Structure 1
Amino acid sequence: MQTTEVLKSTSPETVGFDQEQWTEVIEPRTSLLDLRLGDVWRYRDLVMLFVRRDFVSNYKQTILGPLWFFIQPLLTTAMFYIIFGRVAGGKLGTDGLPSFIFYLAGNTVWGYFSQSLTSVSTVFTANSAMFSKVYFPRLTMPLSIVISNLVRFGIQFGLFLVVWAYYLVTNPLVHPTIYALLTPVLVVLMGLLSLGLGMIFSALTTKYRDLAMLLTFGIQLALYATPIIYPLSTVSQKWRWLVLANPMSTIAEVFRLGFLGRGTFSWMYLGYSTLATLVILLAGTIIFNRVEKSFTDTV
């Protein structure tokens, strides 16, 4: 419950005449729904500095440097191709598409989402020393992480386009559709979803450190609950609603449909993913802003 403090006038002119005259009224500056987005906009230069810092610090002392942007998705895709496409005999199915480009498409979108979520979820614990010494809008930190990972996604998306162009020429089953125009929308949804979920976990892990390990394990399980290594069409109608309850399911399917020509699309599904993302983002921002005021006492 919000309170309002007041100061009474004690000047000689007012003493004994009007004891109810107030010289100053102090009211709370923020409310539950005050997201302080204006502060983030004023500190937009700081956001870009954090983006540059994240990009440089991650690969400054590595041997291969930015080449890891290409190595990671290629190795993951190759592993899926060997295990699910060859060893398992392709029993999961790929909607008739070549296995390698099918898995690469899924890894491209899932990599951005999972990396952003994991990084944002450690904002408070990883930056507690900085937060306790200097003030700046705390929201700038998770926002900068999502943007810096967007640079990473752009590079990996370029890799996907190169491989996609090869299959576009050599395989008649691979063809783009008009839904490829929704790619910017899908990228924004992935970024906002990872931002909202990451801020929720970041706020909760200030008191419950076990959630950090749970998140790492949960992301691995969520990969198999999302149409990344299998198409939605192979899921029975009985369980399809459960898979579609995951907002990332529609995003992965629409991305694949746009560039590979096979996938499931529905404006209702996309609308649900958008609404779920916005609700999670709003909840994450509110929880994050509430916890930032006192997290130094528990971290």
Structure 2
Amino acid sequence: MSTLYKELERESGMAETGNEKEHWDMVIQPKTSMLDLQLKEVWRYRDLIMLFVKRDFVAQVKQTILGPVWHVIQPILTTLMFWVLFGRIAGIDTGVPGPMFYMSGIALWNYFSTCLTSTAGTFVTNAPIFGKVYFPRLILPISVVISNLIKLGIQLGLLLVMMAYYGITGKFVFHFNTSLLLVPIVIFILAGLSLGLGIIISSLTTKYRDFTLLLGFAVQLGMYISPIPYPLSKLAEGSQLRLLLDINPITPLAEAFRYALFGQGTFTVGTLLYSLAFMMVILFFGIIMFNKVEKSFMDTV
């Protein structure tokens, strides 16, 4: 009985050694419930989050010849391609200067797609780290979402330069107002949505690697069923494509973003709340799945 009693004391983080008691600062135990989100523990490791953010950004810079310049070149080339295909050849009227319209959508989509694809490989790509040291596993996908804000900031800076050019030359008149407050709201919802979907896919890929192959195709297809290369107003009400875009949670975010910057877009508070509610549900279930897989993923990765 005495041996069993001592073992129980050790599991609770305290054991007697001679006349003194040893105390542990932390006792690592498995989660007892999938609903145990441990958000307080994630906050305690916020310094580690920033270290991972710095690591991700430095890795992107050092492993390329042009470094952060790629964050400018890629959206410019994509904008030119969209401008030629949709603006010149297809003749779609965007209501604002074409390059400015396409750049705004591309900046948002690049952030969403990069966060999604990066967080989707959390368990597989970081298995060596998970097997050596303990920290809340949710820290890694969160750090990915934060680190990609740097890339988004660079591309939004490029968009502001473009907007300044059209404003100074008088080719477009801007009417800025309180709707600019929608910009951080849109980015917040987009970050949460990409995080939730990403950790759901990362939880599935521990057993089913096919999801990583399908993800690349789904991201490419997703751009064209979102109002990124064309305005939502150009689709007829009641059409099948319009119905598909109406249930797409990215649609209200893209339209709200353009409404905030250009004063044009099919935006309502109700559609934005729909995207927010969709994000919260996806994020909640994503964290639950993440917690469930976290217990045993090392056996399957």
Asked whether the two chains share a fold, i.e. TM above 0.5, the reply is yes
Unaligned runs of 5+ in 1: 1-9, 12-21
Paired residues of 2:30 and 2:295 also in contact (CA < 8 A): no
Which residue does 2:197 correspond to in 1? 197
Deviation track 1:93-148 (CA, whole Å, cap 9, x = no partner) reads 31x22111110111111111111111111111111111112111100000000000
Residue 151 of structure 2: aligned partner: 152
Q: CA deviation at 1:62?
A: 1.9
Choose 103-112 or 176-185, whichever is displaced more.
176-185
Percent identity over the alignment is 53
Is structure 2 residue 181 aligned with structure 1 residue 185?
no
Kindly report which structure 2 residues correspond to 1:119-198, keeping only aligned pairs within 5 A, or say none: 119-171=118-170, 173-178=172-177, 179-198=179-198
Aligned CA distance change for structure 1 residues 28 and 200 (closer, same or farther; 3 Å):
closer
Does 1:106 pair with 2:105? yes
Q: 2-side partners of 1:195 and 1:148: how far apart?
A: 12
Q: Unaligned regions of 5+ residues in structure 2, if any?
A: 3-7, 13-28
Q: Which residue of 1 aligns with 2:207?
A: 207
Q: Mean alpha-carbon deviation: is it higher for 60-69 or for 214-223?
A: 60-69
CA distance in structure 2 between the aligned counterparts of 1:151 and 1:205, rounded to whole angstroms: 27
Distance in 1 (CA, whole Å) between partners of 2:227 and 2:173 is 18
- Residue 277 of structure 1 is matched in structure 2 by 279
After TM superposition, the structure 1 = structure 2 runs for residues 44-123 of structure 1, keeping only pairs within 5 Å, are: 44-88=46-90, 90=91, 92-94=92-94, 96-123=95-122
Q: C-alpha distance in 2, partners of 1:25/1:137?
A: 20
- Give, in angstroms, the shift of residue 174 of structure 1: 4.4
**Offset of residue 172 of structure 1:** 5.1
Paired residue secondary structure (2:238): helix
Which has the higher mean CA deviation after the structures are superposed, 76-85 or 191-200? 76-85
Summarize deviations over 1:44-79 as a string: whole Å, max 9, x none.
111000000000001213221111111111111111
Distance 1:93 1:126 in 2: 43
**Contact 1:97 1:174 (8 Å CA) reproduced:** no
Match of 2:225 in 1: 225
**Are the equivalent residues in 2 in contact too, given 1:120–1:195 (CA < 8 A)?**
yes
Pair 24,297 (structure 1): closer, same or farther in 2 beyond 3 Å: closer
Q: Which one-letter code corresponds to 2:244 in the other structure?
A: L
AA matched with 1:134: V
The two structures, once aligned, show a CA RMSD in angstroms of: 2.2
- 1:298–1:250 Cα change, 3 Å: same
| Aligned residues of 2:86 and 2:230 also touching (Cα < 8 A) | no
Structure 1 residues 288, 33: closer, same or farther in 2, change over 3 A? same
- Mapped partners of 1:24, 1:51: distance in 2: 36
AA aligned opposite 1:199 = I
TM-score scaled to structure 2, two decimals?
A: 0.87
Secondary structure of residue in 2 paired with 1:102: helix
User: Is 1:247 aligned to 2:246, yes or no?
Assistant: no
CA drift at 1:176: 3.8
Partner of 2:237: 237
- Give the deviation of 1:177 after TM superposition: 4.1
Other-structure match for 1:258 = 260
Which residue of the partner structure matches residue 7 of structure 1? none
More displaced stretch, 208-217 vs 79-88: 79-88
TM-score (norm 1): 0.88
